[in-house]
Amino acid sequence: MMHELPFQVDRFRRILSVNGHSYDGGKKIALFEHISIAQHACDSNAQYSSIAGLGVSRLFALQDLSAGDSVKICYLPRCGPLRVWPRWARQNELNTQFHFCFMCDLCNSQESHNPSRRSMEFSQALQALDDAWGDKEAFLSMAEELIRTTAFTTSSRRTI
């Protein structure tokens, strides 16, 4: 049986789920005075890091920043420099995990279209690969298969 949380508790839970960051190896979650106000961008210019056992979390730049630049981190766990997710997948994940739609500069620069069959298969293969991370043999086998079956060229990136 589900019980409704008191308004203030539910509000805090929502704020924490959207703005909180895990730390100490993902065992804990916290709001940070400065880190938690970093905006999302699929092509982020900064990254959040936390090292288990040290109790230290940090935000570091991925490129030179000038005074006045917005510090942007990618909220998606597998995003960042690889940028292999198509726009539709990134938008779906933001909506699923954080319950918002946000069009960053990268998303605004890409065409909006429904996912192709190939794109869906590729996303499912990446998810399966991610799920196999703890099983070295399965992971390596799946990674080899994914590399072999994916002609990941500059021209194919546009169609994914």
Smallest separation, CB 75 to Zn ion (Å): 10
Smallest separation, CB 31 to Zn ion (Å): 23
Tell me which of 104, 126, 142, 160 binds Zn ion, using CB under 5 A. Answer: 104
Which segment (9-17, 46-54, 102-110, 132-140) binds Zn ion by CB under 5 A? 102-110
Size of the site for Zn ion (CB under 5 A): 4
Residue 94 found at the interface with Zn ion (CB under 5 A): no
- Which residues within the stretch 39-78 sit at the binding site for Zn ion (CB under 5 A)? 42
- Which residues within the stretch 23-42 sit at the binding site for Zn ion (CB under 5 A)? 42
Task: Give CA–CA dist 77/70, Å, rounded.
Answer: 20
Ramachandran class of 83: left when φ > 0, alpha when ψ lies in -120 to 50, beta otherwise: left
Question: Which of 126, 40, 18, 130 shows the shortest CA–CA distance to 91?
Answer: 40
Smallest separation, CB 91 to Zn ion (Å): 7
Evaluate the CA torsion angle 109, 113, 115, 117 in order and state its sign: negative
Smallest separation, CB 123 to Zn ion (Å): 15
Rg of the Cα atoms in the chain = 18
Task: Give CA–CA dist 45/17, Å, rounded.
Answer: 22
What is the binding site for Zn ion (CB under 5 A)? 42, 104, 106-107
